[in-house]
Structure 1
């Protein structure tokens, strides 16, 4: 007996196909986590799921399509949790920098705990076609935007997004490439501090008065650029023009 959906399957063929698809993803994810990508063969997945091997090709196109689905589901679950946390944080007026910090460490923890999924999601071609990856990036951008609105960001928002994302990915790759017993437990914290030093306004004591004043000026420009699209009293064309001016000024300040 297989999991194939027949014409009289409860809920209809579509529901049956969805159940088969979900079961195949479950099985492939288990094999991936327990034995690595080499174990995720069409024969092994089909046998464990109780279906014929051609079912995988009908549902996913090929083995790579199945791996895409495994990575996408894991990413969707992680991103959904991040999005809920981000909404809760914004709703209670939490410190935007602490929210961004928590998200950074959550990303690192997820990658280290799910190495095979991380490697799948680290494939640039897979990321480009991943809806979950785009959703995750949107959550990160929203968090960075809140830091900018608070007047604490002295670099363009996109640069901060790129730095946070790159730093997290680099930490995960380094930790996974190091034997578990030899990993530096402070690596993520040190990388986070490096990102903070590169993107945030520093106090006068650590930056020196002239540098602190320059950073404060840059942060004001970034904050104004962040709030410009929502400024009241302007029509769409005026807002667009203001945003363009501020974008050019921001870019010139960081050339």
Structure 2
């Protein structure tokens, strides 16, 4: 393990176990087995260290996401993505609490990537005619619920001890944003979302840019 990684992991562990959410650089250096000049040479200052800890946590999370090969069933991929998120949170509690801390002053680039990966899965659901809402709306709903459940399981285990809680919330959110395979011509919302996703992926040459934008605006309203 490199010196940088050792410092990052020691910082995350100390912060997670701190009753005040604060920890001194001296304590971090002692836990990592390095001198303070090494810490400042690596990260500049304490703020730089904390930002690096959050980025490191997101990078660990994204490694598995990037490596996953999409299956032929985007809905199954969406379910697996939720479960994988919870598994990561429970296996890396120290980093996870920092990744989604309300005290964070900036959103890491990796956090935006995590959202975009989720949105792409939902775009595939829309292209398959399985999404009731626009992909970005579905991504916001899924991520906020996924993160909320994970944080409750980590920070309030005495109150959130139902082993089926994650699956119950997952299924409830998915039921709101997903539809059954279209079989009735009156299923307007999923059809609109489907067509919107297809237009985004492959714009029609029969329409001007303005016409396409107007059509996509109408489809977004019908899908919402």
Q: Same fold (TM over 0.5)?
A: yes
Tell me if 1:69 matches 2:38.
Answer: no
Aligned twin of 1:218: 189
Asked which structure has the greater RCO (Cα within 8 Å, sep 6+), the reply is: 2
Aligned twin of 1:247: 216
Pair 26,201 (structure 1): closer, same or farther in 2 beyond 3 Å? closer
Pair 50,117 (structure 1): closer, same or farther in 2 beyond 3 Å? closer
Aligned twin of 1:56: 39
Cα RMSD, aligned residues only: 3.0
Structure of greater Rg:
1
Match 2:198 to one of 214, 220, 227: 227
1:102 Cα deviation after fit: 0.4
Pair 127,121 (structure 1): closer, same or farther in 2 beyond 3 Å? farther
Pair 94,203 (structure 1): closer, same or farther in 2 beyond 3 Å? closer
Kept after mapping to 2: 8 A contact 1:36/1:116? no
Kept after mapping to 1: 8 A contact 2:90/2:150? yes
Match 1:146 to one of 124, 128, 136: 124
**TM-score, L = length of structure 2:** 0.83
Bigger proportion of residues as helix: 1
Aligned twin of 1:102: 80
1:230 Cα deviation after fit: 3.4
1:68 Cα deviation after fit: 2.0
Q: How does 1:171-190 map to 2 (within 5 A)?
A: 171-179=149-157, 183-190=161-168
Q: How does 1:1-255 map to 2 (within 5 A)?
A: 20-32=3-15, 35-36=17-18, 40-85=23-68, 88-89=69-70, 93-123=71-101, 126=104, 128-179=106-157, 183-202=161-180, 213-214=185-186, 216-231=187-202, 234=205, 238=208, 240-253=209-222
Alpha-carbon distance in structure 2 between the residues aligned to 1:175 and 1:28: 22
Count of residues paired in the alignment: 222
1:149 Cα deviation after fit: 0.7
1:194 Cα deviation after fit: 1.0
Q: Deviations over 1:126-169 (max 9, x none)?
A: 48431211111121111111111101101111111011101101
Alpha-carbon distance in structure 1 between the residues aligned to 2:160 and 2:114: 30
Unaligned runs of 5+ in 2: none
